[in-house]
């Protein structure tokens, strides 16, 4: 049965994996260990074991592997496990402190992989301060007989993925590389879902920018959309920072021999890398499109300002006519046209109105009013 089709059918959990924590350390003590299990021939060994017991069971028989899941472990908790499994101190330090770039590092026969998880934040209205995507991290130590996953953040739980893999023992029988592939596949599939939701937000924003403000739906915000465009662009850039650095690690996994990764697994990593490349193209296109939308919005604002200035200038020119005439007749000279005639006031007033009307008509014909 193809690995990719099986793994993609896993249900993405929406609740925190920490809710499923089992007290695998001292009774009553809080533990970062979400799950710890031994797998032989792809099947989970029954009963609870500590990480040390699990490692002893595997290495005594030389069969199977250990999968330990951790959620936001502290330096002290992870140091104990690192000592048991011989993890490199630099990788352990990165695993304790979140906010790492996606990467792949090799320490002897152990691979250390960092994935950025992305979750789309549903929102009824996009504002200049809306959170659209939130990030987390999944880190994996992969050795010949163990997989240690470290998760940071409130999403991207791996409990459902573990259950799905346990229902397909022929996949788990392939070893720790299967788990690493499943994690990469889930992370990239989540990228595709987030990219589709972002595309809809960008389409709505494009409609807002190029539509009449009076016809915009009420739930899309009002006023100048520049702030919302900029916020959306920031969220897209955060998404891009999660996707772009992961391109090289996946390329290495599908092109070069790696410890604990079976040669026939490279083609599956190649499929994940292809999907990631598609996401990268989409995110890059989103960034470019938002740049164009922002420039269009700024151009519209400039045009609107120019239009307002033309109207102000036109009205100023019209008002200059009566200002000039009244200014002339306010100089109190004795010998002025129509000054002492009976209807002089009305004649001058009519002439003023007529001149203003002619100037107004000229501005309207030229599109200034």
Task: Check residue 316 and report its DSSP letter.
Answer: H
DSSP 216: S
Rounded to the nearest 5 percent, the helix, strand and coil shares of the chain are 55, 15, 30
Each residue of 111-139: pLDDT tens digit? Answer: 999 999 999 998 888 888 888 999 999 99
Query: What pLDDT tens digit does each residue of the chain (369 aa) get?
Result: 344 344 444 333 333 333 333 333 433 345 788 999 999 999 999 888 888 999 999 999 889 999 999 999 988 889 889 999 999 999 999 999 888 899 999 998 999 999 999 999 988 888 888 889 999 999 999 999 999 999 998 887 898 999 999 999 998 889 999 999 999 999 999 999 999 999 999 998 888 888 765 555 554 555 568 888 888 999 999 999 999 999 999 999 998 899 888 888 889 999 999 999 999 999 999 999 999 888 888 887 787 777 888 888 888 888 888 888 888 777 777 777 766 777 777 888 888 888 888 888 888 888 887
Q: Which residues of 141-150 are buried (b: 16+ CB within 10 A; e: fewer)?
A: bbbebbbbbb
Domain ranges in the chain?
3-301, 306-365
Distance in Å from the first CA to the final CA of the chain: 72
Residues contacting residue 313 through CB under 8 Å, at least 6 positions apart: 368
CA torsion through residues 251, 256, 261, 264, sign: positive
Nearest to residue 295, comparing CAs of 212, 209, 237? Answer: 209
The CATH code that applies to domain 306-365 is 1.20.58
The answer to whether domain 3-301 has CATH 3.30.460.20 is yes
Model pLDDT, residue 181: 94
Predicted pLDDT at 302? 80
Residue 134, strand partner residues = 119
With beta carbons less than 8 A apart as the criterion, state whether 157 and 16 touch: yes
């Amino acid at each position: 049965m193809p690995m990719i089709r099986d793994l993609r059918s896993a249900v993405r959990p929406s609740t925190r994996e920490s809710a499923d924590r089992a007290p695998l350390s001292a009774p009553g003590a809080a533990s970062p260990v979400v799950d710890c299990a031994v797998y032989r021939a792809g099947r989970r060994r029954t009963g609870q074991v500590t990480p040390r017991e699990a490692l002893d069971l595997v290495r005594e028989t030389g069969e199977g592997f250990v999968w330990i899941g951790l959620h936001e472990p502290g330096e002290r908790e992870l140091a104990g496990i690192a000592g048991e499994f011989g993890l490199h101190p630099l990788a352990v330090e990165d695993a304790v402190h979140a906010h790492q770039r996606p990467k792949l590092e090799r320490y002897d026969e152990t691979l250390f992989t960092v994935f950025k998880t992305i979750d789309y934040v549903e929102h009824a209205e996009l504002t200049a301060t809306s959170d659209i995507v939130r990030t987390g991290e999944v880190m994996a130590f992969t050795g010949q007989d163990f997989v240690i996953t470290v998760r940071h953040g409130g999403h991207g739980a791996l409990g459902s993925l573990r259950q799905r893999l346990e229902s397909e023992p022929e996949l788990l029988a392939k070893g720790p590389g299967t788990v690493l592939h499943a994690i990469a596949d889930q992370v990239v599939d989540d990228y595709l879902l987030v990219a589709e939701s972002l595309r809809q937000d960008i389409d709505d924003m494009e409609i807002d920018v190029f539509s009449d403000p009076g016809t915009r739906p009420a739930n899309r915000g009002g006023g100048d959309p520049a702030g919302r465009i900029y916020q959306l662009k920031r969220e897209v850039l955060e998404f891009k920072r999660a996707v772009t650095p992961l391109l090289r690690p996946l390329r290495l996994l599908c092109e070069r021999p790696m410890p604990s990764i079976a040669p026939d697994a490279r083609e599956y990593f190649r499929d994940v890398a292809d999907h990631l490349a598609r996401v990268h193209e989409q995110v890059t296109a989103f960034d470019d499109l938002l740049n164009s939308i922002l420039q269009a919005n700024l151009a519209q604002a400039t045009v609107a300002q120019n239009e307002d200035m033309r109207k102000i200038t036109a009205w100023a020119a019209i008002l200059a006519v009566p200002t000039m005439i009244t200014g002339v007749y306010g100089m109190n000279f004795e010998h002025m046209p129509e000054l002492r005639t009976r209807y002089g006031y009305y004649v001058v007033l009519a002439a003023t109105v007529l001149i203003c009307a002619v100037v107004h008509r000229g501005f309207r014909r030229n599109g200034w009013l």
